[in-house]
Amino acid sequence: MKGKIVAVLILLLVMLSGTAWAVSECEELQFITVQTQVLPKWQKPELSLQNSGSIQDEPLYQDILKMFQQRLDRVDISSHELNENNGGKEKLLYYVTKVLYDHPEIYYARTGIGYYRYPDGRIISAVPMYIEELLTDDAQAEMDQNVIEAMELVADQGLTDTDKALILHDYLVEQVTYNWEVDAALRKGESMEEVEKRTGVRIYTAYGALVEGDAVCQGYALAYKLLLDRCGVDCKVVSSDRMNHVWNLVEIDRNWYHVDATWDDPVPDLPGYCGHGNFLRSDEGIKGDGPERGHYGWTVPDGITVSPEFEPTGLFRETNNRMYYNKGSYYYLESRYGKGNIWKANSLTDKAPELVIDEIQLFLHQFDGRYYNQYGIVWHEGMLYYVDKNKNLICLDLADQSYATLGVIPFEAENSRDNVYSSNYDTIGLYYNSQTGEIVAVSRTRPDMELAHVQLKEYPVKWDQMDKYTTALAGCVQRDDAVLLAGLIWAEEGQQASLMTAFYQEGRMVRVQMCSSADWTSGLNVLELDTAGYPAYDRVALFLLSDSAAPLCGAWQSSITE
């Protein structure tokens, strides 16, 4: 009797295992993707498009979020009773996209989803669509490093939310280029599916924007949200299916405003240019002059009311270049018809900014008797770099208004090589290459053509303006912790002399270094003084000693870098 029971149990187990195997065989894997750059529609009366409230607490949202965060290959969603035949796949895609828009740090997933279903349409599990090359430790390290560098720009404790939003907006516009292939395809009416085969999908991610500097509007919006999230400023992603476009909403002083970094970045890209026409705009402001020129057709996340007309005033409205935040003040270039003024303000709402420099001459590309009023500039370490009307690259020191001509930019306007853009679009863009320490000039219509590379000088601009025919001490500047640069104008060829550098701490001499004239040449000599291992010092004095003249001497605080 006992043996018959065992046999029956074994038979039941075999039958059950067979049933499980048969169900598994009936599963079918399907994939759905988003070819557009907007949040897909899911029709459900009680949940409007882009609901940012209760949806985040729903079990389906949490299961999908866990899947992406833990980088799982599959997650069981059978308990959510989704059916392919009654809107289940649309709901699933909606939730996936919502998770990715709420969490731009999940940059390694594309906007789409795979799912297993039974023949009757019941969806039983979700399969993520990862971007395989971004699932690496190296990709994560690159992403983390770029976010850290961006956060350093807003590390000042005195910055307001408006300051942070502006600084990161300008950073993003300067760092990212709207993908050339996509823009060219849109102008030609080409299919986005075909373009995606050439560009890949990284351009839709925060990684594409922040690490590779190559994105479309979705990448801009996700990157901006990621950066603002990190510095504590509330930010949402908003989309318009009618425009096939994505941008952001940002909360400032309990009011929500539109920010569209993509539209503030010209196409084709112009390095050194940064518009502000779509920064902190009300509903009316972002609409512009109608559907042909402004935004339309968007849906605001539930619980958010965007300011209908009120917009915060700010000096950013007066410039089409990055606002330079330096030592607690803002500098900006206000220009018109090739003439520019440089202003300094204590805050973005300063009612009486200080005019620092009046009427510098800016390069403008002329065509058909008109001037194309766009150009690139670079702010870097207290300097403004720009191209004047004669195509000279100028370095302007904000501290003392001294300037130097660094070279001539060889530029003639041309069409882009694919003839998508005519020569009318062409002008000179500028950017700073932190890897080489150079200012690079580029053509706007030929971005792969670098017009000039100019190595930045480590010493103050005013040293170059001194009389080269009179022996004089130019000054000294701290380059880094271990090197001090001393400037000497030498006109006494054949004369033997020595330069004595004395280091002081609280009025007491702590070290002396001597340099002979054996290697000095006529004109400006920039001497590198190795201070590794020296005692701490707060003052430096230079003494030029020779047999035929009285000593020349000068003293500088070690912290001065002008």
The answer to the question of residue 12 being in a domain is no
The answer to the question of residue 239 being in a domain is yes
Q: Are residues 117 and 39 in the same domain?
A: yes
The answer to the question of residue 4 being in a domain is no
Q: What does the alpha-carbon distance between residue 483 and residue 488 come to, in Å, rounded to a whole number?
A: 16
Question: What was the pLDDT predicted at 416?
Answer: 94
Mean pLDDT of the chain: 86
The answer to the question of residue 271 being in a domain is yes
Q: Are residues 516 and 495 in the same domain?
A: yes
Supply the pTM of this predicted model.
0.85
| Amino acid of residue 202 | R
Question: What was the pLDDT predicted at 303?
Answer: 77
Q: Are residues 259 and 342 in the same domain?
A: no
Q: Are residues 253 and 338 in the same domain?
A: no
- Tell me which of 456, 472, 498 is where a domain ends: 456
- Tell me which of 405, 429, 456 is where a domain ends: 456
Question: What was the pLDDT predicted at 36?
Answer: 47
Percentage of the chain lying above the pLDDT 70 cut: 88
Q: Are residues 144 and 208 in the same domain?
A: yes
Contact (CB, 8 A) for 559 and 478 = yes
Residues in the chain, total:
562
Residue closest to 518 by CA, chosen among 493, 542, 543: 493
Count of the separate structural domains present in the chain:
4
The answer to the question of residue 147 being in a domain is yes
Question: What value, to the nearest 5°, has the Cα angle with vertex 116 and ends 128 and 88?
Answer: 90
Percentage of the chain lying above the pLDDT 90 cut: 64
Question: What was the pLDDT predicted at 21?
Answer: 34
Q: What average pLDDT score do residues 54-71 get?
A: 93
Q: What does the alpha-carbon distance between residue 329 and residue 377 come to, in Å, rounded to a whole number?
A: 18
The answer to the question of residue 6 being in a domain is no
Q: What does the alpha-carbon distance between residue 226 and residue 147 come to, in Å, rounded to a whole number?
A: 9
Q: What does the alpha-carbon distance between residue 426 and residue 376 come to, in Å, rounded to a whole number?
A: 12
pLDDT single digits (tens) 494-505: 788 999 999 999
Q: Are residues 95 and 147 in the same domain?
A: no
CB-based burial, 438-472: b 16+ in 10 Å, e otherwise: bbbbbbbbbbeeebbebebbebbbbbbebeeeebb
Cβ contacts of residue 499 below 8 Å, gap of 6+? 486, 488, 514, 515, 517, 527, 542, 543, 544, 545
Q: What does the alpha-carbon distance between residue 537 and residue 558 come to, in Å, rounded to a whole number?
A: 7
- Tell me which of 103, 130, 157 is where a domain ends: 130
| Amino acid of residue 506 | E
Q: What average pLDDT score do residues 2-28 get?
A: 39
Q: Are residues 51 and 123 in the same domain?
A: yes
Question: What was the pLDDT predicted at 290?
Answer: 57
pLDDT single digits (tens) 462-471: 898 889 888 8
pLDDT band at 190 (very low <50, low <70, confident <90, very high): confident
The answer to the question of residue 9 being in a domain is no
The answer to the question of residue 287 being in a domain is yes
Question: What was the pLDDT predicted at 370?
Answer: 57
Measured in whole angstroms, the distance separating CA 215 from the mean position of its chain's CA atoms is 11
Q: Are residues 423 and 489 in the same domain?
A: no
- The beta strands (E) that lie in 316-435 are given as 324-326, 329-336, 339-345, 354-361, 365-367, 370-372, 378-380, 383-387, 392-397, 403-408, 428-433
Q: What does the alpha-carbon distance between residue 454 and residue 557 come to, in Å, rounded to a whole number?
A: 29
| Amino acid of residue 330 | Y
Does the pLDDT of residue 525 top 50, yes or no? yes
Q: Which residue has the higher pLDDT, 277 or 42?
A: 277
Q: What average pLDDT score do residues 242-262 get?
A: 95
Contact (CB, 8 A) for 263 and 247 = yes
Q: Are residues 531 and 430 in the same domain?
A: no
Residue 337, burial from CB neighbour count under 10 angstroms (0-12, 13-18, 19+): exposed
Q: What average pLDDT score do residues 205-220 get?
A: 97
Q: Are residues 318 and 397 in the same domain?
A: yes
- Take residue 484 and report the two structure tokens written for it: 């001090």
Q: What does the alpha-carbon distance between residue 385 and residue 442 come to, in Å, rounded to a whole number?
A: 14
Cβ contacts of residue 444 below 8 Å, gap of 6+? 268, 269, 270, 421, 425, 426, 427, 428, 429
pLDDT single digits (tens) 297-339: 998 877 789 999 999 989 999 999 999 999 899 999 998 878 8
pLDDT single digits (tens) 345-359: 999 999 999 999 998
Q: Are residues 370 and 329 in the same domain?
A: yes
Does the pLDDT of residue 175 top 70, yes or no? yes
Q: Which residue has the higher pLDDT, 190 or 501?
A: 501
Q: What does the alpha-carbon distance between residue 143 and residue 210 come to, in Å, rounded to a whole number?
A: 7
Does the pLDDT of residue 438 top 60, yes or no? yes
Measured in whole angstroms, the distance separating CA 406 from the mean position of its chain's CA atoms is 27
For residue 491, the domain's CATH number is: 2.60.40.10
For residue 185, the domain's CATH number is: 3.10.620
Contact (CB, 8 A) for 92 and 100 = no
Residue 105: give the domain boundaries: 24-130
Q: What average pLDDT score do residues 4-26 get?
A: 36
Does the pLDDT of residue 43 top 50, yes or no? no
Q: Are residues 324 and 444 in the same domain?
A: yes
- Lowest mean per-residue pLDDT among 195-199, 278-282, 400-404, 516-520: 195-199
Q: What average pLDDT score do residues 1-28 get?
A: 40
Nearest-10 Cα torsion for 473, 477, 483, 487: -20
pLDDT single digits (tens) 365-378: 776 655 556 789 99
Q: Which residue has the higher pLDDT, 497 or 17?
A: 497
Cβ contacts of residue 103 below 8 Å, gap of 6+? 65, 68, 69
| Amino acid of residue 525 | N
Contact (CB, 8 A) for 37 and 245 = yes
Question: What was the pLDDT predicted at 33?
Answer: 67
Does the pLDDT of residue 19 top 50, yes or no? no
Residue 232's region, left for phi above 0, alpha for psi from -120 to 50, else beta, is left
